[in-house]
Structure 1
Amino acid sequence: MEDNKVDSKKKRLNIVSAIIYIPMFLGMIQFFFDENYRNDGLGWLLLLTFWVIRNIDQAIRDWWDKKQKSVLFDLLLAAVVLVFLIIRGMEYFSS
């Protein structure tokens, strides 16, 4: 019975992840390859945001699988990228 709950949670997480990942990835591609070169910065911000969300998602999956070291690594990497995202975002929107 407990395995069914975990499987149900994992299925929901897969669906929600796909719903979040696909538009972000498509937006990133759109900003990278449009004619306005100024949108490349926004594309990079979307890429960093994608990476942060992906690391948090992977940390949740590793936590369910009881991989504590991997959870810590994913959260540390997400924190580092989040700091970089905030710095780049401030630079992009201040100019």
Structure 2
Amino acid sequence: MKKESPTKMWNTLRNITLVFILFIFIRYEFDEDPYNDRIGWSVLVVFWISKGLFDAIEDKRKWNKKSMVANIVFVIAGLGVLCWQGIQFFS
């Protein structure tokens, strides 16, 4: 039995996580309750943050610093939007 390489396992974990987050987004976005749309869009922001983090880690492994920095900036912007929406939600 062959042993899977760490990059193949990493890609599998990444894809499963991203698909799971997308399913959560679809569940909240396309139901009858309009209140859940806000939650669905917040989950979509979490999807883009997760994708940015996974891409930044992959770029670090490949020594692609420019792309890594761009992904980190993207993640920080997403976290800012998520915090802003959280503050609006709770106030």
Give TM-score, length-normalised by structure 2.
0.88
Instruction: Output one character per residue of 1:21-43: Cα deviation in whole Å (capped at 9) or x when no partner.
Output: 11110110111110000000000
The residue type paired with residue 86 of structure 2 is G
Give TM-score, length-normalised by structure 1.
0.85
Q: Report the aligned-residue RMSD.
A: 1.4
What stretches of structure 1 move > 4 A for 4+ residues in a row?
A: none
**2:83 is equivalent to residue 77 of structure 1:** no
Alignment length (residue pairs): 88
- Give me the whole-angstrom Cα distance separating, in 1, the residues matched to 2:74 and 2:15: 21
Percent of counterpart pairs with the same letter?
Answer: 27
Unaligned runs of 5+ in 1: 1-6
Structure (1 or 2) with the greater helix fraction: 1
Paired position in structure 2 for 1:24: 21
Q: What are the residue-to-residue correspondences of 1:1-16 with 2, within 5 Å?
A: 8-16=5-13
User: Structure 1 residues 10-19 or 53-62, which shifts more?
Assistant: 10-19
Instruction: Output one character per residue of 1:47-79: Cα deviation in whole Å (capped at 9) or x when no partner.
Output: 000000100100111111111111011001101
Paired position in structure 2 for 1:4: none
- Give me the whole-angstrom Cα distance separating, in 1, the residues matched to 2:84 and 2:5: 37
Paired position in structure 2 for 1:67: 64
The residue type paired with residue 33 of structure 1 is F
